[in-house]
Amino acid sequence: MAVIDVHDLTHRYGRHQALRNVSLSINAGSVYALLGPNGSGKTTLLQVLVGLLPATSGQARVFNTPVQSLTAAHRARMGYVAEGQQLPPRLTLSQLERYLAPLYPTWDTALATSLRERFQLDPSRQIRTLSRGEHMKAAMLCALAPRPELLLMDEPFTGMDAVVKDDLVRGVLELSGREGWTVMIASHDLAELDLLSDWVGFLDKGKLQLHETMDSVRARYRWVEIMTSDLEARLPNVRPPGWVWAEQAGPRVRVLVNEPDDAVLQRSARTWYPSAARVEVHEASLRDVFVALTRSGQAALSTGAQANQAGSHAGSQQEVA
Amino acid sequence: MSWSRQVWHVFMKDVREQKWVLALYVALLCFGTMQGVRFWPIDGDSEPFLPLLGSAVMRAVAAYLAASLILGDSPNSPRAYWATLPFARSAVFGAKVLGFVGLLLTAVAAFIPPLVQLEVSATQLWLQLLNFSVAFSALLVATAVFASVVSRLRYVLLVPLAAIALMIGGLVVVAKRGFVLQYDLSSAVVLVVIAGALGALAFVYLTRRVNVTQRSLTLVPCALLLIAPFAVSGFGPVAPVIEPARITGIAPSISLVVGDAAYRMGSQIPALQLQTSGRFQLDGATPATRVELRTRYATTVDALGNDRDAVGFDISRRLVEPALPIDPDVRWIGADIAGSTGTFRQSVSAVSLSREEDSIHTAAISRIRTEGRFEFRTPRLLGSVAASRDTAFAHDGVHLRIKRGTLAGAPVFEVQTMAVLNAPDGVERVSGALDHLSFALVHDEHREAVKLSFQRSSSSVGGSLLAPLGISRGSSMLVAEPSLFYAPVRPDSISAVRALVTPEWLRGARLVIYEWVLTGTSPVNISSAIGRTSAGD
């Protein structure tokens, strides 16, 4: 059952179109990684989903309810964490917890205490005196303590050290797995997302370019490393089918491809580099996919020998299984 | 959690967040309350500078709190935390309104003890508090509405700047009766704007939709609300407007006088003084009616009919002074006690840069035009006290104490005065003149009476931290000077007073105090041309 259902969603800031006809659906229990370069519309999408921004057109539904009609009861089942969130600055953390607890029937005081200790937050400190990282941890605490069915997080790892990040990822994984939370995370911490998520979406210039399971992404996107005999190998002038991004250094060419079939990959590589001494296929990390997709969408920023406007991305929307 | 509990929950969060500023606010009000209660008896030497400053600080703190309440749960910020919490949006709005009501009621409560101490009547008390509440609510709501469409506190500071820009236009529309609007609707306008602004605030909270147009439009109610304290004429008993037809008749002897000695060098800017005078036939006045002309606007008009702004004009002119009610067998000393029509004299000053320009200007002026209203009052006996030192009198917020009395040719009393700034009829009791009061010495045994006038007054005006709309206080000299009031003046008036009022006479006399009660008003426009004048409603 879809917890989040977005259909043809568009949001404009004046003339700037932040989201362009985005459609996606996220089922209960999924951990969804929302990727995209800066300004791609990730934060806007989350803000629309949580009801902070109105949609210019299209529809966004959460818990099968249009976001503009979400009631207090719906919100009590949701948690939202965002960088720069305006927590009440003059309340101490313990006052903030006492303020929030009565609002959530599911507020877990023990979990709040446990998170506070794990995050090493002083409950007597005012929110405004917290550092950026501590502020984020406090926001995270407030979002997790109610044990929300739906957790929306926008750059939640900002300012956190590696140990806390790791703790948090494990904690969210554990809770979401055990309690069936649905989690949507927009972040640049790709290593953490790689661990956390089972679904991934890629937004670029407001358009959803990718929306599929992590397994599918891992299966489809791979690095092909071609060792040519030519010391100054040239990249193809025409984008070969399935090539998302290519870079070349001397006789070595690396291509991120969107093709699950090894035989097809080998054939394609040999077609362009008939004298290749070696063709190897490697798994691509989420980071590799993100960087390649981002660069392929921003050819001008490419540092490769030639920008390959490649990538027949998974443009078509898929229902999350 | 029920809606009302949500409201209370958010309200208490706001209180916790702003507890130190709230403490400052309450401390200021407590200070004002104590000062107000101790304000009487008067310490004639001290100036109420601190209350004035405190009044400004109190309002600034209140505005800061109003803005902080809104920005604490900003309705338009895309990062607003509250909007992601399980609250009904209307509950958050309700909590903010509750906060404003709390700020208002705290201030109102703080003003009650000084007003009670000043012995104002119940009517006066409620009117004072009501008028204050309207003006103070305007301040809070204006700040709140502006804060609702900005994201940072510093932007709220733009409100006063925007208000200044719009104040001139707003004052013309709202406050200048007869210029744009035919009636003084300022009180109603402010209430409507407050209601509209609260509606706008509710809209912003409930929909969280704020675009550029809405932000711009926000400035309008903000400006109107901020000028409210200047524009509001106040609630209270409204004197009936007397039909203009009854007062249109005038005597034809108006003339424009531009004297040779008309130049005044004030602040190195020569000002040309022009004067009109004449006599009105005031059909609307009875023999027991005092008639005053209160000028609200004056301008000079050149030959082509263009207005030239006047820089100064008489605010108030007393045209008719009737007799004070007194026992029939008591004889007034030194005056013809019959009520009479008075002369009309109007002074208007205009600026010019040089004598050469003055002469051009003078030649160009064809008429003086003034706009104002007639006020009709009748005297009412308030009470009397022994005409001796330290006797005191209090009535409905008006306090008076005889500081000393002498008889230097004529009776002279120095009195200390204090009054809530606005009388129930809306007339300001400023400048210590206590315009609406008259005094007489009555010797019951001799069956003789002497009318006293204010010869000199010095006054200071206390800030609103002592009372909702301020308190005036000061010292005034009451002197028997019949020529000021009664016309025609009998040549023997002053000598008669000097001959009859002796120390023994004074010891047996009592000071009688009268109040002039407003019974009606009538708008008037006066257009004075050289050798010819017309007047009408």
Lookup: tokens for A289: 């996919």
Q: Are A77 and B72 within 8 A, CB to CB?
A: no
**Beta strands, E only, B352-409:** 365-386, 392-395, 398-408
Task: Answer whether B278's CB lies under 8 Å from B302's CB.
Answer: no
Burial B31-42 (b: 16+ CB within 10 A, else e): bbbebbeebbeb
Element (H, E) at B144: helix B122-149
- Average of per-residue pLDDT values in chain B: 69
Structure tokens at B71: 């920005």
CA separation for the pair A218, A204 (Å, rounded): 20
Q: Identify the three-state secondary structure at position B261.
A: helix
- Residues of chain A in Cβ contact (below 8 Å) with chain B: 47, 50-54, 71-76, 78, 80, 82, 84-91, 95, 99-100, 102-104
Q: Which residues of B touch A102 (CB under 8 A)?
A: 1, 9
Using N-to-C axis directions, what is the helix angle for B122-149 and B212-226, rounded to 10°?
Answer: 160
Q: Assess whether pLDDT exceeds 90 at residue B188.
A: no
**Of the ranges A39-43, B130-134, B366-370, which is most confident?**
A39-43
- Strand stretches in chain A, DSSP E: 2-13, 16-27, 31-35, 57-62, 65-66, 78-82, 150-154, 182-186, 199-204, 207-213, 221-227, 243-249, 252-258, 278-283
State residue B456's pLDDT score.
57
pLDDT at A221 over 80: yes
Q: CB distance from B78 to chain A under 8 Å?
A: yes
Predicted confidence (pLDDT) at residue B441 exceeds the cutoff of 90: no
Q: Across the beta sheet with A78-82, what order do the strands follow?
A: A78-82, A150-154, A182-186, A31-35, A199-204, A207-213
Partners of residue B13 in chain A, C-beta under 8 Å: 88, 91, 99
Question: Tens of pLDDT along A67-96?
Answer: 888 888 899 999 999 887 888 888 999 999
- pLDDT above 80 for B267: no
C-beta separation of A66 from A59 below 8 A:
yes
Q: Which of A86, A88, A104 sits opposite B79 (nearest CB)?
A: A86
Say if the Cβ atoms of A102 and B79 lie within 8 Å. Answer: no
Judged by CB atoms closer than 8 Å, whether chains meet at A103 and B209 is answered as no
CA angle B114, B118, B119 (to 5 degrees): 120
A101 vs B contacts (CB less than 8 Å): none
Measured between beta carbons, which residues in chain B are less than 8 angstroms from residue A100?
85
What three-state secondary structure class fits A258? strand
Mean pLDDT computed over every residue of chain A: 80
Q: What is the band of B215 on the pLDDT scale with cuts at 50, 70, 90?
A: low
* Whole-angstrom distance, CA of residue B366 vs CA of residue A45: 71
pLDDT level of residue B379 (50, 70, 90 thresholds): confident
DSSP codes, A5-30: EEEEEEEEETTEEEEEEEEEEEETT-
A281 and A292 Cβ atoms separated by less than 8 Å: no
What pLDDT score does B216 carry?
64
State pLDDT tens for residues B83-100: 888 988 889 999 999 999
Q: Compare B529 and B269 and report the one with higher pLDDT.
A: B529
- For residue B1, give the nearest of A78, A87, A102 by CB distance: A102
pLDDT in tens, B72-84: 888 877 778 888 8
pLDDT for B487 beyond 60: no
Choose the most confident range, by mean pLDDT, from A240-249, A303-312, B229-238. A240-249
Phi, psi of B360 (to 5 degrees): -65, -45
The neighbouring-strand residues paired with B269 are: B266
- pLDDT > 70: what percent of chain B? 50
Measured between beta carbons, the chain A residues lying within 8 angstroms of B80 are 52, 86
In 3D space, the residue among B123, B137, B112 whose CA is nearest the CA of residue B422 turns out to be B123
Can you give B196-225 as a three-state secondary structure string?
HHHHHHHHHHHHCCCCHHHHHHHHHHHHHH
Which of A54, A78, A99 is nearest residue B13 as measured by Cβ atoms?
A99
Q: Least CB-CB distance to A82: which of B13, B79, B88?
A: B79
Report residue A109's pLDDT band, with 50, 70 and 90 as the boundaries.
very high
Average pLDDT over residues A184-213: 83
pLDDT digits (tens, 9 = 90+) for B31-54: 888 877 766 555 555 555 556 667
Is residue A259 very low, low, confident or very high in pLDDT (cuts 50, 70, 90)? confident
Looking at per-residue confidence, does A16 or B278 come out higher?
A: A16
Phi, then psi, of A52 in degrees rounded to 5? -80, -25
